[in-house]
Amino acid sequence: MGSTEDLDYPQIIMQYSNGFLISKVMFTACELGVFDLLLESGKPLSSDAIAAGLGASTMGMKRLLDACVGLKLLAVEMTQEGALYRNTEISNIYLTKSSPKSQYHIMMYYSNTVYLCWQYLADAVREGRNQYERAFGVSSKDPFGAMYRSDEEMLKFMAGQNSVWSICGRDVLAAFDLSPFRQIYDLGGGGGALAQECVSLYPNSTVTIYDLPKVVQVAKEQFVSPEEHQITFHEGDFFNDSIPEAELYILSKILHDWDDDKCRQLLAKVYNACKPGGGVLLVESLLNEDKSGPVETQLYSMNMLVQTEGKERTAAEYSKLLEAAGFGVIRVKRTGKLYDAVLGRK
Amino acid sequence: MGSTEDLDYPQIIMQYSNGFLISKVMFTACELGVFDLLLESGKPLSSDAIAAGLGASTMGMKRLLDACVGLKLLAVEMTQEGALYRNTEISNIYLTKSSPKSQYHIMMYYSNTVYLCWQYLADAVREGRNQYERAFGVSSKDPFGAMYRSDEEMLKFMAGQNSVWSICGRDVLAAFDLSPFRQIYDLGGGGGALAQECVSLYPNSTVTIYDLPKVVQVAKEQFVSPEEHQITFHEGDFFNDSIPEAELYILSKILHDWDDDKCRQLLAKVYNACKPGGGVLLVESLLNEDKSGPVETQLYSMNMLVQTEGKERTAAEYSKLLEAAGFGVIRVKRTGKLYDAVLGRK
């Protein structure tokens, strides 16, 4: 940055302006099932075979595959039969639908919902509010009413969040020793992937997923096996309904959806419900104290502007919210991954 | 890539999925006029002052500015008055509207037209054709009819192309010594930025911009000064109307819009019109011969799928098209920037 060469030819600006092309190439290869087909096939395939297998045009597929090679999401080898494509290790693990660490669902949520919301980023910055009205013609006033505007959208969102916890869940739950807490409520626990990580990591715990009735319904039907006896459910709206007593409350990616007032309201309710000696675990992506980074978190804070009423915050901002509600002995742990952990005790 | 660490946490996939967020943050800061205001102000400004100056929300602007700092498009210093933001050198040169090297217009074209077309990339790959119908409700059959669907869209496209030539034009024109050619036709020369680079680099040349009547009209009114006596205009459709005799024809980013048949037709007409000893200069982004890269060109080839009837090609593919039309002594020069040059002689 800043060298004469860079000033003569702005590589960085070109990279940034190509960003959406890169996102969409990866999202599209996922959506069309390229990585799944290559995994199932068990051997490298030609572009024509992949196009035929996925019902796509040969001219479009060839270019998509080559772009994926350029992005190192696929590898290619030249043979007598022509170019043969195969998954890279990263793609096998993260971009196939069947992998335990699959990011497929969060990609689809980004590609089909978030991408369109971001078309209206300039309006979001001008107005200081989310853009569901412009993007999807639904009221911007109740963000979760908008996000869950159809069962299909709600399902996509829940599956997307589960993808995230499949790679980040264990680290945020292992950031502190939570084994003293047996009775855990995961407020807004959605599809239950974090709850599942929790009972796996802390075999003596039971986790109750507290979420809206329609979310709980889908979580039971589609995501959490009835065999999973350590996980139970509680239907409710944690702003308007009561919160039962427990030893630990997990709020993962909840406070970032709301403004400071709403966060204070919610944390006060949680504090009142919490057993003495209990605690609350916030799982969020933390901004640096001077808000100079990390850039991913800054970008997600823009996303909170476009999609919610909230923002990403610094560790000090979360600590202040916790203290205002009565929590003490606040500890912060950065995991080095996207989501961090803040623990407050009653 | 491929280390145990990468496989445990897919940084590359997260970077790629954030690509569209990065693009849109930069595009939006341009659109709202952040870089222009900071240039005009001549001193660092607070987030509140920038929000007020641009009629934007304070909460949205603060986050946008911090994200731009994370992307190194702005710098921030902490003072007694709080955080003050200023442009980086790169932003001053490339992201302000008034700069001679401004990329503002191509950013706006990307942000408001191309971004929406790419929402339908999966459909483009399935169908093997452009997506104007889905993105903008206009027929996909005539790409330039669709691209120029309103005067405003045509103007945005022309201004965007001019941005590109302000940073890449000189290199492609200097790739070969074109001084022997005095009479030059720039076929599809649009807003004329490449023609202007050409007469500046080759003071003995005259360049005729050959383009559709409505494009020529706008080029004369808005982009090319009447004082510029070395530049003239010719209104026509080079597929359906005649092409006058000249010494050199420039086809910059023209062949990539069309399939091989259309390219052969056009090059045959150019060959017939060309004076003996004359030539044709193709300006295009060249794919590697095995199509393994460059990744930017692979991405642009996807864009040709989404927006046109064409594709990006290798040097050998362009040479073959030129030879089929009768051109010989074909020379290829990679510039190291985004656009390269291929010269064929009659």
Task: Determine the pLDDT at residue B1.
Answer: 41
User: Do B10 and A57 make contact, defined as CB atoms within 8 angstroms?
Assistant: no
Q: Whole-angstrom Cα distance, residue B139 to residue B134?
A: 9
pLDDT over 70 at A4, yes or no: no
Task: Determine the pLDDT at residue A5.
Answer: 57
How far are the Cα atoms of A86, A173, A246, A325 from residue A185, in angstroms, in the given order?
43, 13, 7, 18
Query: In angstroms, what is the C-alpha Rg of chain A?
Result: 22
Task: Determine the pLDDT at residue B198.
Answer: 98
- Same domain (yes/no): B81, B110: no
Measured in whole angstroms, the distance separating CA A119 from the mean position of its chain's CA atoms is 20
* E strand or H helix that includes residue B170: helix B151-174
Q: Which of B12, B31, B93 sits opposite A122 (nearest CB)?
A: B31
Query: What DSSP state is assigned to residue A148?
Result: T
Task: Determine the pLDDT at residue A1.
Answer: 41
Task: Determine the pLDDT at residue A107.
Answer: 97
Q: What letters, b where the CB count within 10 A reaches 16 and e where it falls short, cover A119-134?
A: bbbbbbbbbbbbbbee
- Same domain (yes/no): A194, A286: yes
The 10s digit of each residue's pLDDT in A282-313 is 999 999 999 999 999 999 999 999 999 999 99
Q: Is residue A327 part of a domain?
A: yes
Crossing angle of helices A58-70/B295-307, nearest 10°? 150
The 10s digit of each residue's pLDDT in B275-316 is 999 999 999 999 999 999 999 999 999 999 999 999 999 999
- Same domain (yes/no): B273, B323: yes
Strand partners, A231: A207
Task: Determine the pLDDT at residue A8.
Answer: 87
Q: Is residue B324 part of a domain?
A: yes
- Same domain (yes/no): A85, A208: no
Contact call for residues A201 and A222 (beta carbons, < 8 A): no
Tell me what the pLDDT averaged over chain B comes to.
96
- Same domain (yes/no): B220, B250: yes
Q: Is residue B81 part of a domain?
A: yes
pLDDT over 50 at A2, yes or no: no
Query: What DSSP state is assigned to residue A120?
Result: G
| Domain endpoint, select from A34, A69, A94 | A94
Measured in whole angstroms, the distance separating CA A160 from the mean position of its chain's CA atoms is 6
| Domain endpoint, select from A94, A116, A136 | A94
User: Do B9 and A167 make contact, defined as CB atoms within 8 angstroms?
Assistant: yes
| Domain endpoint, select from A94, A111, A136 | A94
Task: Determine the pLDDT at residue A42.
Answer: 94
The 10s digit of each residue's pLDDT in A14-38 is 999 999 999 999 999 999 999 999 9
- Same domain (yes/no): A82, A180: no
A51 min Cα distance to partner chain B (Å): 8
Alpha-carbon dihedral of residues B86, B33, B218, B160, nearest 10 degrees? Answer: 60
- Same domain (yes/no): B158, B11: no
- Same domain (yes/no): A55, A197: no
The 10s digit of each residue's pLDDT in A65-88 is 999 999 999 999 999 989 999 999
- Same domain (yes/no): B208, B332: yes
Task: Determine the pLDDT at residue B76.
Answer: 97
Q: Is residue A165 part of a domain?
A: no
Tell whether B245 is within 8 A of chain A (Cβ): no
Q: Which residue of B has its CA nearest to A10?
A: B90
Tell whether B109 is within 8 A of chain A (Cβ): no
Query: What DSSP state is assigned to residue B110?
Result: I
Q: What is the ipTM of this complex?
A: 0.97
Task: Determine the pLDDT at residue A43.
Answer: 96
When mean pLDDT is compared across A93-97, A172-176, B149-153, B279-283, the lowest value belongs to B149-153
Contact call for residues A290 and A234 (beta carbons, < 8 A): no
Residue A93 token pair: 């693990």
Q: Is residue A47 part of a domain?
A: yes
CATH number assigned to the domain comprising residue B21: 1.10.10.10
pLDDT over 50 at B2, yes or no: no
- Same domain (yes/no): B83, B136: no
The 10s digit of each residue's pLDDT in A226-279 is 999 999 999 999 999 999 999 999 999 999 999 999 999 999 999 999 999 999
User: Do B20 and A293 make contact, defined as CB atoms within 8 angstroms?
Assistant: no
Tell me what the pLDDT averaged over chain A comes to.
96
Q: Is residue A311 part of a domain?
A: yes
Q: Whole-angstrom Cα distance, residue B281 to residue B30?
A: 33
| Interface-testing mutation among B113, B295, B307, B314, with chain A (most A C-beta atoms within 10 A) | B295
- Same domain (yes/no): B80, B137: no
- Residues of B with Cβ-Cβ distance to A19 under 8 angstroms: 18-23
Q: Which of A32, A291, A294 sits opposite B125 (nearest CB)?
A: A32
- Same domain (yes/no): B302, B209: yes
Q: Is residue A85 part of a domain?
A: yes
- Per-residue pLDDT band for B4 (boundaries 50, 70, 90) equals low
The parent domain of residue A310 ranges over: 172-345
| Interface-testing mutation among B24, B117, B259, B337, with chain A (most A C-beta atoms within 10 A) | B24
Q: Is residue B99 part of a domain?
A: no
The 10s digit of each residue's pLDDT in B99-132 is 999 999 999 999 999 999 999 999 999 999 999 9
Number of domains in chain B: 2
CATH number assigned to the domain comprising residue B302: 3.40.50.150
Percent of chain B with pLDDT over 90: 95
- Per-residue pLDDT band for A91 (boundaries 50, 70, 90) equals very high
